[in-house]
């Protein structure tokens, strides 16, 4: 059976220096529990997805070789992201 994950990202744009940061929460949908939370990383756009995937590989929950198997990843992941106005909202 394929384990499904909910990936929730939050992005914050630091206007002063023009940097974008994100945080990521990964939830196992089968067990309905949070696996991990990555609080503060540099990266813009969809970089939160790469952060989440790298963390799942590190935890041994997905294979690095499956990273570009888009059909498999469409079944495996639900992606959600929101832009937040303040750093402390990450």
pLDDT band at 90; cut points 50, 70, 90 = confident
Half-sphere exposure of residue 53: CA atoms within 13 angstroms, side-chain side: 18
pLDDT at 3: 86
Q: Which of 54, 53, 55 is nearest to 77 (CA)?
A: 53
* 32: alpha, beta or left? (left if phi > 0; alpha if psi -120 to 50): left
Does the predicted TM-score (pTM) go above 0.85? yes
The count of domains in the chain is 1
Give the residues across from 80 on adjacent strands: 8
- For residue 29, what are the domain limits? 5-89
pLDDT at 48: 95
pLDDT tens figures, 45-86? 999 999 999 999 999 999 999 989 999 999 999 999 999 999
**List of long-range contacts for 27-35, beta carbons under 8 Å, 24+ apart:** 28/3, 28/4, 29/3, 29/4, 29/5, 29/78, 30/3, 30/4, 35/5, 35/59, 35/61
Q: What is the mean pLDDT of the chain?
A: 94
């Amino acid at each position: 059976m394929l384990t499904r994950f909910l990936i929730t990202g939050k992005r914050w744009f630091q206007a002063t220096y023009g940097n974008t940061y994100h945080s990521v929460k990964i939830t196992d949908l089968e067990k309905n529990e949070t696996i991990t939370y990555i609080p503060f990383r540099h990266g813009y756009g969809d970089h939160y997805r790469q952060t989440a995937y790298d963390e799942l590989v590190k935890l041994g929950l997905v294979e690095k070789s499956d990273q570009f198997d888009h059909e498999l990843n469409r079944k495996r992941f639900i992606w959600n992201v929101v832009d937040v106005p303040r750093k402390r909202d990450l």
